[in-house]
Chain A
Amino acid sequence: MTADIETFAKTAEANTPLRMQVLRNIRNRPTASGAAIAIAILVLLALLAPVITPQNPYDLASLSVMDNRLAPGETGMTGITYWLGTDAQGRDMLSAILYGLRTSLLVGLTATAGALAIGSVAGLLAAHFGGAVDALLMRIVDFMLGFPSILVALILLSSIGRGVDKVVVAIMLVQWAQYARLMRAAALVERRKEYIEAALNFGLPTRHILLFHLLPNSIGSVLVVASISVASAITLEATLSFLGVGVPVTQPSLGLLIANGFEFLLSGQYWIAVFPGIALVLLVMSLNLLGDRLRRSFNVRGP
């Protein structure tokens, strides 16, 4: 073959996959790697909650009301030492927090994934078809983004009632619009590139072009923003649950745990609200720190 002598050296740098570059970028930052480790531990704890917790906090048979509102470190009638104390029903706070973490993460991740899917499809269609489709979709997006998301979610949930699935739907509904807008912007840039024209030149079906050309090349920035938005989805869920319109009492998230402990704060039993609060702050902060580093390494501007 005829060897092109140009830029062979230059390609070596480009040969390192982006994924590796980003990983290296995270590993070299103490805050980002700390956040990543914290998230890994929290996720692991949430996953393993049924196995590692001393009691199932929502199995009423395993609770002893006599143990209610024990301070951290006390040992109750059942012989369990409650390292983080107990709540008004005698529930071990450590177990409750790990189960709460499960619910918070479950809601945050599914809502984000759902919003991402809806938003990406809407943005892609708007960018590709333009015209009336674009105008209609983007008017809806403008409308959605025009209201504070907490307000929309509150109104929605107070009319459909509480429930894990309902909170997920509510968060999806208030968050898909930002992804749609981002996806549209990215796809509009990609669509002008010549590889899309090449695909048209080959008479490839629209569905194929959208799925295999436009989507994979436009979704990068959207994914990065989604990684940051997991934190805001979790915060939103916590707020809704705190306000009493979120998850049901049988499956409390961190937000609901805080709400439950709130009334005892002034009577000195701080642990019932404060420990779930610390867990929530740790989770949200770590997600934010890691997401921010991802955003910087991919050079994506915020939503």
Chain B
Amino acid sequence: MSETFFELRDVSRYFRSKPSLTQRIVTALGRTGPPPALRAVDDVTLRIRAGEVVGLVGESGCGKSTLARVATGILPPSAGEVFYKGRPVTELTGKDRLNYLLKVQMVFQDPYASLNPRMKVGQLVGEALRVHKLVPKNEVGERTRGVLKEVGLDLGYMDRYPHQFSGGQRQRIGIARALAVEPDFLVCDEPVSALDVSIQAQVINLFMDVRERRGLTYLFVSHDLGVVRHISDRVAIMYLGRIVEIGTAAELFAKPAHPYSQALIRAIPSAVTRRRRAFTPLKGELPSALSPPPGCAFHPRCEHAMPICREVRPPLVQISPDRSAACHLHSTSESV
């Protein structure tokens, strides 16, 4: 099979804040340009093979959720193209587009906000099946019960509302809802970070069981390097909207090439005491994506920063057979 299963090619996603009235007047008077766009995802290329688990790691606000939303088609990219099974998804229409949307499913970060509070579990999980008539009417219930059982929920819960469940159970409902439409690619956006630590492992195990049973492909976003190392085939490290290093999990964790990855991985041992969200292995703050530092965005925090780092942005280049990094320490030539 030569076609890539899933690919983001030079994908960017900008957010432009709506200018206030005063800003609009100032702009109209020609004093300043329009407000700068926030580059939540900046020129990312990522290829994912069928059956693979790719971990995506980065600090809060670096654009992981935005990347996940672009991949699943919830947000259109501002630039670049998303390919599913070799076809650019912007060209898909009608049935083909629906097929892409359904085959590439998302599991959300917040198990409280991601379930419609006014729908019962049974309705919620079977909704897409019913609306798109994916299965005959009389089989919707059967399929719904099937996926609920698969994620370990009691079938007696079908008629309950989401608020009657704990976070872990809600996340299972979210997984069941995604599985109901038989996806082949799950984009999991920090699916356990909102859960109690004691529940996290159970839900991670559920993800792995489901993957094995259904032969799914995962893009697994996480704060937790321990989890990512444990479950991923390959790992991508993201910083300020860009992928700064990507490689096989074993290699990357053993010998990180990018100074940012090195700092992250160095911080793992202390992760024994890790708490959710506390993920600041580095000194200094994440710069604003509204005005990223020139050159290498990491240079204000990098201990290896060189003069060139302040001026020239390092491209993501292959540094060994299965590894790429975006750092001047690893660029063989200075050409950009």
Q: Pick out which of these stretches binds chain A: B29-37, B102-110, B241-249, B313-321.
A: B102-110
The reply to whether the CB of A11 lies closer than 8 angstroms to some CB of chain B is yes
Q: Pick out which of these stretches binds chain A: B67-75, B135-143, B258-266, B325-333.
A: B67-75
Q: Assess whether B116 is in contact with A213, with CB atoms less than 8 Å apart.
A: yes
B106 touches which of A193, A198, A213 (Cβ 8 Å) = A198
Q: Assess whether B166 is in contact with A200, with CB atoms less than 8 Å apart.
A: no
Known contacts: A2-B152, A217-B118. The answer to whether A201 contacts B72 by CB under 8 A is: yes
Q: Assess whether A201 is in contact with B73, with CB atoms less than 8 Å apart.
A: yes
The reply to whether the CB of A194 lies closer than 8 angstroms to some CB of chain B is yes
Q: Assess whether B131 is in contact with A208, with CB atoms less than 8 Å apart.
A: yes
The distance in angstroms between the C-alpha atoms of A136 and B110, with both chains bound, is 34
Using a CB-CB cutoff of 8 Å, which residues 198-217 of chain A contact chain B? 198-205, 208, 212-213, 216-217
A204 touches which of B113, B128, B153 (Cβ 8 Å) = B128
Q: Assess whether B166 is in contact with A202, with CB atoms less than 8 Å apart.
A: no
Q: Assess whether A201 is in contact with B152, with CB atoms less than 8 Å apart.
A: no
Q: Assess whether B153 is in contact with A197, with CB atoms less than 8 Å apart.
A: no
Q: Assess whether A4 is in contact with B169, with CB atoms less than 8 Å apart.
A: yes
Instruction: Give per-residue flags for B93-125: 1 if the beta carbon is below 8 A from chain A beta carbons, else 0.
Output: 000011001100110111001111111000000
Q: What's the nearest-Cβ distance from chain A to residue B207, in Å?
A: 13
Known contacts: A195-B116, A202-B181. The answer to whether A2 contacts B202 by CB under 8 A is: yes
Residues of chain A within 8 A of B98, CB atoms compared: 203
The reply to whether the CB of A6 lies closer than 8 angstroms to some CB of chain B is yes
Interface centre among B116, B128, B131, B196 (most CB of A within 10 A): B116
Q: Assess whether B117 is in contact with A201, with CB atoms less than 8 Å apart.
A: no
Q: Assess whether B128 is in contact with A8, with CB atoms less than 8 Å apart.
A: no
The distance in angstroms between the C-alpha atoms of A209 and B146, with both chains bound, is 25
The reply to whether the CB of A5 lies closer than 8 angstroms to some CB of chain B is yes
Interface residue tally for chain B (C-beta within 8 Å): 41
Say whether chain A's binding surface is mostly helix, strand, loop, or mixed: helix
Residues of chain A within 8 A of B177, CB atoms compared: 198
Residues of chain B within 8 A of A198, CB atoms compared: 106, 108, 114-115, 174, 177
Q: Residue of B at shortest CB range from A12?
A: B164
B168 touches which of A6, A15, A203 (Cβ 8 Å) = A6
Residues of chain B within 8 A of A28, CB atoms compared: none
The distance in angstroms between the C-alpha atoms of A205 and B106, with both chains bound, is 18
Q: Assess whether B108 is in contact with A197, with CB atoms less than 8 Å apart.
A: yes
The reply to whether the CB of B199 lies closer than 8 angstroms to some CB of chain A is yes
Q: Assess whether B117 is in contact with A202, with CB atoms less than 8 Å apart.
A: no
A197 touches which of B74, B117, B196, B198 (Cβ 8 Å) = B74
The reply to whether the CB of A51 lies closer than 8 angstroms to some CB of chain B is no
The reply to whether the CB of B163 lies closer than 8 angstroms to some CB of chain A is yes
Q: What's the nearest-Cβ distance from chain B to residue A191, in Å?
A: 12
Residues of chain B within 8 A of A202, CB atoms compared: 101-102, 127-128, 131-132, 181
Known contacts: A6-B168, A11-B166. The answer to whether A201 contacts B105 by CB under 8 A is: yes
B101 touches which of A5, A194, A201 (Cβ 8 Å) = A201
Q: Assess whether B163 is in contact with A14, with CB atoms less than 8 Å apart.
A: yes
Q: Assess whether A203 is in contact with B132, with CB atoms less than 8 Å apart.
A: yes
Using a CB-CB cutoff of 8 Å, which residues 1-56 of chain A contact chain B? 1-2, 4-8, 11, 14-15
Q: Assess whether A1 is in contact with B153, with CB atoms less than 8 Å apart.
A: yes
B152 touches which of A1, A8, A205, A212 (Cβ 8 Å) = A1
Residues of chain B within 8 A of A195, CB atoms compared: 113-117
Q: Assess whether B128 is in contact with A194, with CB atoms less than 8 Å apart.
A: no
* Interchain Cβ contacts under 8 Å between A and B, 13 examples: A4-B167, A4-B202, A6-B167, A14-B163, A14-B164, A193-B113, A194-B110, A194-B113, A194-B114, A198-B108, A198-B115, A201-B105, A212-B116
Given A198-B106, A201-B105, A202-B128, 20 extra CB contacts under 8 A? A1-B152, A4-B167, A4-B169, A4-B199, A7-B166, A194-B109, A195-B116, A197-B69, A197-B74, A198-B108, A198-B115, A198-B174, A200-B73, A201-B73, A202-B101, A202-B131, A202-B181, A208-B131, A212-B119, A217-B116
Closest 3 CB pairs of A and B: A194-B114, A4-B168, A202-B128
